[in-house]
Amino acid sequence: MEIPRPMLVGREWVDNLARHHPARLALSVFATVIAVFTGLLLLPQATAGEQSARFVDALFTATSAVCVTGLVTVDTATYWSGFGQAVILVAIKIGGLGIMTLASLLGMAVSRRIGLTQRLLTASETKTAQLGEVGSLVRVVIITSLTLEAAIALVLIPRFLTLGESLGDAVWHGVFYAVSAFNNAGFVSTPEGLMPYVGDWWMGLPIILGVFIGSLGFPVILNLARRRTDARRWSLHTKLTLTVSSLLVVVGAVAIGSFEWRNPETFGPLDGPTKVLASIFASVMPRSGGFSTVDTGAMNEATWLLTDALMFVGGGSASTAGGIRVTTLAVLMLAILAEARGDHDLEAFGRRIPRETLRLSIAVAFIGATTVLVASLILLEITNLRLDVVLFEVISAFATVGLTTGITPTLPDSGKYVITALMFIGRTGTMTVAAALALRDRRRVIRFPEERPIIG
C-alpha cells in the first residue's frame, strides 16, 4: 500500500530530527505528552467535584507527573477523581520509562525489531553508548520496571488489607504507590499520605528500596543483570553510581537523624527504631523520591540545607531521578582529588576518565546551579517568601524530587508557572544540554599559545 505524501514528509522530518537533533526531538515529544495529559485532566470527569480543574492546576499536575516530580498544587487523593488519578498514574509510568524508550517499545511491537531511528532516540534518552545495546536495554527497562513494581505492589497490598481497606482499594493503593515509588514520582493516593506510617517497616522499606533502585538508572540495572556476581566486570559508570549513591544515603541518614533527633515536631516523639527508619527514609527520598513520613516544613534549617544539597545531586544518569546526577558529582570530586595530589589524569577503579567528561560535568553542574539561581530570584521577586523555603522548593522542582515545605499550593499563578517550567527544564534540560555538548567536537588545526591565568 502506498504511503500518503504528507505521512512520508512527516516521517522524513522526524527521522532527520532524530538523527541530527535528538535533544530537540526529546523536548518536543515531552512537551506534546504534557499537553495531552493536561487536556485529559481538564475534562470534567477528572475532578472529584462538579467543576473542571483550573488550567494552571491541570498543567502543573500533568508536568509534575510526566516529569516524575510529585509537587502538587491540589491534593491528589481528594481533588482528582478515580479517572483523574488513573490519568496521573499513566503519566507517571510514561515519564518514568522515558518517552524515547516508550517510542522504541512501540516500534518493537509493530516491526518486531528496533530501527536505526528508534535506536538513536533511545540512545539519547538512556545514555546508551552503543546502539546495539538499545534493544537489550529496552527489554530490561520494561521487564525490570514491571517486575519491581509488581513486587512492591504485592508487598504493599496485604499491608493495606490489614489496615481495613477493601480488596479493590488495597490493590489500587498498592499499585499506585509501587509505580510512584519505582518511578521516583512522589505522588500519593491516600489523603493522609505516608505520615501515619512513619514507623511502619512493612510500608516504608519497600518504598525505600523502590525509590533507590529506580534512581540507579537503567544502564546500571542492565550492567548488573548481565554481570550479577562478577563485580570486577561492572562498568565504571555502575561502580561510580553504586558507590556515590550508597555513600550519600549513609551520610544523609546519619546527618538528618542527628539534626532531627530531638526536634519535637519531627523525630522527637518517635522511639529509637522509628527514628532510624525515618532517618533512612528522609535520606533516600532526596534521590528524587519525594515521599515524606514527617512534616518537611517543620524540619530544622540545617536539615533543609542538607536536603537541598542531596536533591541537587539527585540520582543516576538515565534513571527516573533528577538533579545533576551522582556521576557528575563523582567526576568533580575525583578532579579535586587529582588536583590535590598533583595527578594529571582522573582515575577511578583502575580506569582513566577523559578530560572531556570533566568539562561536561562542570558544564552540567554550572548550568544546573544557574537555573536554580535564576528561578529563586524570580520567585523571591513575585512572592514575599523567605530564601530558605524558596530555595528548597526550587531545587526540589529542578531535581524533580517533589519534597516540599508546603508553599507550592499557596504560590500565585505566576509562581506556579515558574515551578512548572522548572520541572520541565529539570527533567529534560540537563539531559539535552549534556547530549548537545557531548556531540560538539571541534577539531582545530591551529592552536593558540598556552598561558595560565591566576586561580584562587
| Dist. CA 314–CA 165, nearest whole Å | 35
DSSP element (H, E) containing 8 = helix 5-20
- What is the spatial distance between Cα 372 and Cα 231, in angstroms, rounded to a whole number? 37
User: CA–CA separation, 206 vs 291, rounded Å?
Assistant: 13
Q: List CB contacts of 37: < 8 A, sequence separation 6 or more.
A: 62, 65, 66, 87, 90, 91
Residue reference for cell 580506569: 351
Residue 130, pLDDT score? 54
d(CA 137, CA 132): 9
CA distance 156 to 419: 32
pTM of the model: 0.88
Q: How many helices (H) and strands (E) does the chain have?
A: 18, 2
Q: What values do phi and psi take at 350, rounded to 5?
A: 75, 20
Q: How many CB atoms lie within 10 A of CB 395?
A: 30
Q: How many CA atoms lie within 13 A of 55 on its CB side?
A: 4
Nearest Cα to Cα of residue 316 among 206, 435, 221:
221
pLDDT at 117: 54
Q: Concatenated DSSP letters for 133-170?
A: GHHHHHHHHHHHHHHHHHHHHHHHHHHHHHTT--HHHH
Is residue 379 a contact partner of residue 453, using CB atoms and an 8 Å limit? Answer: no
Q: Which residues pair with 348 in a beta bridge?
A: 351
C-alpha–C-alpha distance, residues 197 and 207, integer Å: 12
CA torsion angle 212 218 222 227 (round to 10): -30
Beta-carbon neighbour count of residue 415 at 10 Å? 19
Cβ neighbourhood burial of 271 (10 Å; 0-12, 13-18, 19+): exposed
Please list the residues that pair with 80 across neighbouring strands: 47
What are the average pLDDT values for consecutive 10-residue runs of the chain, which has 456 residues? 48 52 70 94 93 95 94 94 95 80 50 51 55 60 86 96 94 95 92 92 95 88 76 87 95 96 95 95 93 94 96 88 91 93 89 88 91 96 94 96 93 96 84 56 69 76
C-alpha 272/C-alpha 275 separation (Å) is 5
Q: Which residues partner with 347 through β-bridges?
A: 352
Do residues 403 and 394 make contact, with C-beta atoms less than 8 angstroms apart?
no
pLDDT of 173 reads 96
Grid coordinates standing for 347? Answer: 582515575
Q: How many CB atoms lie within 10 A of CB 14?
A: 16
pLDDT given for residue 437 in this prediction: 53
Cell output for 233: 566486570
Nearest residue to 75 via CA among 44, 35, 47: 47
Task: Please report how many Cα atoms fall inside a 13 Å half-sphere around the Cα of residue 176, on the Cβ side.
Answer: 25
Per-residue pLDDT of 42-62, as tens digits, reads 999 999 988 899 999 999 999
Nearest-angstrom CA–CA distance, 427 and 444? 34
Q: Measured over all CA atoms, what is the biggest interatomic distance in the chain, rounded to whole angstroms?
A: 75
Query: Which of 248, 438, 243 lies closest to 348, judged by CA?
Result: 243
